[in-house]
Each structure stands twice: as C-alpha cells, then as structure tokens.
Structure 1
C-alpha cells in the first residue's frame, strides 16, 4: 500500500474579486485584493512561473517541470508560495512532487477585471 496522501484542492476566491475597472471604482477591500494579485505578478520570476503553469499541457505543472527559471529551487518555492497566497495558483501534493494549476476562474476574473466597456 502506498503512503501517498492527496490533499484537497482549495479554489481561490478570485473569481469574485472585482468588477471590470471601467464599470465602477473599486472599493477599498477590492483594491487590496487586486493589488495583492498584481503585486504577486509584478516580479518577473513570478510572472514567468505563472505563465509556465497556465500554459502547461493539461492545465497543471509539476514543480519539477517549471523549476528551471534561472533561480535556485528554494527561490522557486518562495515565489510559488507568493502566487498561492495571492490566490493565483492552487497546488496538490502527489508523492514527493507538488503540482500547480491556475484555476480557470482566476484567468477569467483577471480578464474581466481589465476588460473595457466597448
């Protein structure tokens, strides 16, 4: 019997983050949540990691597949943790590896928030 433990995937609450910026002004609480997302993506390494996960085949990526971004493994882990804390990534441990995914709702919410009123 295997000792593998699958952790539940918690969906971040980003889908309900904010209305389109052209619809109305953000509330103070919405601005804090939105700033945390942009702050997390404001680092080039984090933005690259987010892009690697989002574009990876199957919609998820093992940390072993995305760790070659020019920084040490502990630094990669630090940046992935920051992306998770901002609600941009979720993760699941499978054996010795951690798999990361961007929830479709996260990308949809970000796109909607930045959409114009055309």
Structure 2
C-alpha cells in the first residue's frame, strides 16, 4: 500500500519541474523579487519533499509518513504557489500549518 507514495512522488516531481520551468521562464518577468522568492521557496520545498516521498515505503510507519509529507507539501508549497501566482494572500495563514505538517512527517520518518 505504501507504494502509492512512489506514484504520488512521480506526479509531484513532474509538477515541480513544470512549475519550476514556468517560474523561471514566465513568472519571473511579471512579478516583483519578493513574489518570485516566494515561488522559488515553494518550488525548492516541493522538490525536496517529492524526493522524501520516494523513501516512504522504507519507513517504519509509511502511511503516516507519506500522508504527513503529502498534506504538508500541499499546505506549505500549495499556499506559497497560490500566493505567488495570484497575488492573493487569502490562504497564507495556512502556510505555517503546512510547514509544521512537513516537520511532523520528518519526525515520523525518524521514529
């Protein structure tokens, strides 16, 4: 069952590359430096945690680790991407929860 996270990592990796390319070749020309930095942060964390998903089947609690990482990526990276792409800060209040969920995923991986 934990192998589902390998598939999620595949889709997530594709999206990370596609969004990174868009950010570098399209978005950069149309936003200020702070907004572009937010986008780049989202993309960097997206890549890192996509790679982490590949290790999920090797963990002691793969379903918990996988879901924490996946939900954390959506919460942290997703809200950063949304803010950078739309200029709207509506969901920024959820960004720290996504970050805490990512941290919980890493701790769950350790134990």
The TM-score with structure 2 as length reference comes to 0.29
Greater RCO, CA 8 A, separation 6+: 1
Query: Which protein has the bigger helix share?
Result: 2
The TM-score with structure 1 as length reference comes to 0.28
